Structure 1
Amino acid sequence: MNGSSAFGDIDPEALSLRASSFGGQAAAYARERPGYPDAAVRWSLEPVSGPARPRVLDLGAGTGKLTESLLRLGADVVAVEPDPAMLAQLHTGLPSVRAMRGSAEEIPLPDASVEAVLVGQAMHWFDLDRALPEIRRVLAPGGVLAGLWNLDDDRISWVRGLKEVARSTVSFRQWHPGTGPLEGRGFRVVERAEFAHGQRRTAESMAATIATHSHALTLPEAERTELLARVLGYLRSTPETADGEFELPIVTVAVRALTG
């Protein structure tokens, strides 16, 4: 992976390894990862909303978490995903959706074929120097690009403790996906918004979710097992999470940009 990304301070080889780590856990990803709140998806599509169904590309679609939200809101969706295992899971879960293999850097769609490109939990993996011209190519005039990220709300003390135990490097307090990477790259308006979100979890399902995160997937097996055991121990001994189900507080950050 070359060029610029939102994780510019990570070694490119490590970034590439983490970006390609999800396919081996595609079923777990589909089962454990949260979806996206309708309000965030609706805000992302607002510039192209109207009487007609918007044509939307879900880019880096994974197992279809964002695709599900787009379908629920009535969009005409095509999904593009580079990992064959993740794409197979999307086909299984959403068999009626047009989905194909491709990447942000080489999108298998014609010029000006969609009104919106939405990216769920994936834009930070893109080589933006190559991806943004491709995204602009497939967008119709006046189209919108939007990235969405689900971030555990570690402004809350027990969530902060969980992230420390899990050795997660993505912190809502420290890493707010901003508008900078999109500004001055062929987009005339760039905006950012936040939406409250949440997911019902147990200690076991929360550990299973963390097991699908790239920093855990790329650990040696013994270290990964040790990390997940620590996570379970923390959750079972913390008052907010020790007694059956609990709500994981999430902030969904959305950044949208309009073509010039």
Structure 2
Amino acid sequence: MDQDQRHLHASSFGAAAAAYAEHRPDYAHAAVRWALDGAPGRLFGPRVLDLGAGTGKLTATLLALGVDVVAVEPDPAMLVELRRSLPTVRALSGSAESIPLPDSSVDAVLCGNSLHWFDMAVAGPEIARVLAPGGVLAGLWNLLDDRVEWVAGLARVSGAAAIGPRDTPDSWRAETAGAHLPGTGGPARFGAAEQDLFPHGQPRTAESLVATLATRAGVLVMPDAQRETALGRIRAFLAARPETADGEFTLPMLTGVLRTCRT
């Protein structure tokens, strides 16, 4: 998408901040541990920046793992939700392109479903500035496991607006291979990127899954009538599937991690 479209999509979440906080999933603990393990010797108790923290989904996972975390988020409405749900966390207004932290002040920068929104030409040097030498930069994405037949059907019915190119395992690997990270040359030097996938799941009902997909940027920017048509198509699919028609089920997911270290 062009720059104007990227800005429209990236700025769409604030209007749905409460729904985002209620319905978006957390992150697989094993995935977060693997991301942090990219900083040698710093797995236990590192200083971590959650950059583009949204409503604090990744922040909460980091807290559960016992790390020292500071959150930075540019959208005021998302930041309000983060501070409401995690009142003990240091949560700052800022962006990847202008991080309100001192030089070499964190051991890891983690980005939950946010790295692809950054202007890396500006954000790369800024991330390098706040990272201690040897520190890790990692992006995490929650993916739908379309190796499961009904999930593959859901992806087809939902369309690219609701389930985009980073939302299923194979397409995520292709989209993030070498992408969204600072280059290996110049003053902001980072090593080769690594990818891995970790099993995850989210308890859902048909209606709460529809509500989750309704918080995707591609859906949020749709005209009202088009959005209702798309969500109605998803509801009909879920109502027709035995796995999702009645009561609560576990949505099969994976957390994908892309990590690199500052050299």
With the length of structure 1 as denominator, give the TM-score of the two structures.
0.92
Matching residue of 1:195 = 198
Identity fraction in percent? 56
Query: How many aligned positions are there?
Result: 251
Answer yes or no: is the 8 Å Cα contact 1:82–1:102 preserved in 2: yes
Matching residue of 1:174 = 171
Whether 1:114 aligns to 2:109 is no
Answer yes or no: is the 8 Å Cα contact 1:20–1:83 preserved in 2: yes
Letter in 2 for 1:54: P
Question: Relative to 1, partners in 2 of residues 1:15 and 1:42: Cα closer, same or farther, differing over 3 Å?
Answer: same
Secondary structure at 1:180 match in 2: coil
1:12 Cα shift? 1.9
Letter in 1 for 2:150: W
Secondary structure at 1:149 match in 2: strand
Letter in 2 for 1:212: T
Counterparts of 2:58 and 2:171 in 1: how far apart (Å)? Answer: 24
Counterparts of 2:40 and 2:77 in 1: how far apart (Å)? Answer: 32
Q: CA RMSD in A?
A: 1.5
Whether 1:97 aligns to 2:104 is no
Letter in 1 for 2:209: M
Counterparts of 2:61 and 2:248 in 1: how far apart (Å)? Answer: 24
Q: Which structure 2 residues correspond to residues 11-30 of structure 1 after superposition, within 5 A? A: 11-30=2-21
Matching residue of 2:148 = 156
Answer yes or no: is the 8 Å Cα contact 2:142–2:254 preserved in 1: yes
Answer yes or no: is the 8 Å Cα contact 2:12–2:220 preserved in 1: yes
Matching residue of 2:247 = 244
Instruction: Kindly provide the CA deviation profile for residues 142-168 of structure 1, in whole angstroms up to 9, marking residues without a partner as x.
Output: 111111000111222211221222213
Answer yes or no: is the 8 Å Cα contact 1:150–1:253 preserved in 2: yes
Question: Relative to 1, partners in 2 of residues 1:254 and 1:215: Cα closer, same or farther, differing over 3 Å?
Answer: same
1:115 Cα shift? 0.6
1:184 Cα shift? 2.0
Answer yes or no: is the 8 Å Cα contact 1:56–1:118 preserved in 2: yes
Deviates more, 1:51-60 or 1:34-43: 51-60
Counterparts of 1:214 and 1:51 in 2: how far apart (Å)? Answer: 33
Matching residue of 2:34 = 43
Secondary structure at 2:139 match in 1: strand
Secondary structure at 2:191 match in 1: strand
Of 122, 138, 154, the residue aligned with 1:146 is 138
* Consecutive unaligned residues in structure 1, runs of 5 or more: 1-9
Matching residue of 2:184 = 184
With the length of structure 2 as denominator, give the TM-score of the two structures.
0.91
Counterparts of 2:156 and 2:13 in 1: how far apart (Å)? Answer: 22
Letter in 2 for 1:109: L
Q: Which structure 2 residues correspond to residues 214-233 of structure 1 after superposition, within 5 A? A: 214-233=217-236
Counterparts of 1:89 and 1:247 in 2: how far apart (Å)? Answer: 25
Instruction: Kindly provide the CA deviation profile for residues 78-100 of structure 1, in whole angstroms up to 9, marking residues without a partner as x.
Output: 10000000000000000010001
Counterparts of 1:213 and 1:257 in 2: how far apart (Å)? Answer: 27
- Provide runs of 4+ in structure 1 moved above 3 Å: 48-52
Question: Relative to 1, partners in 2 of residues 1:49 and 1:211: Cα closer, same or farther, differing over 3 Å?
Answer: farther
Letter in 2 for 1:184: T
Letter in 2 for 1:44: A
Matching residue of 1:6 = none
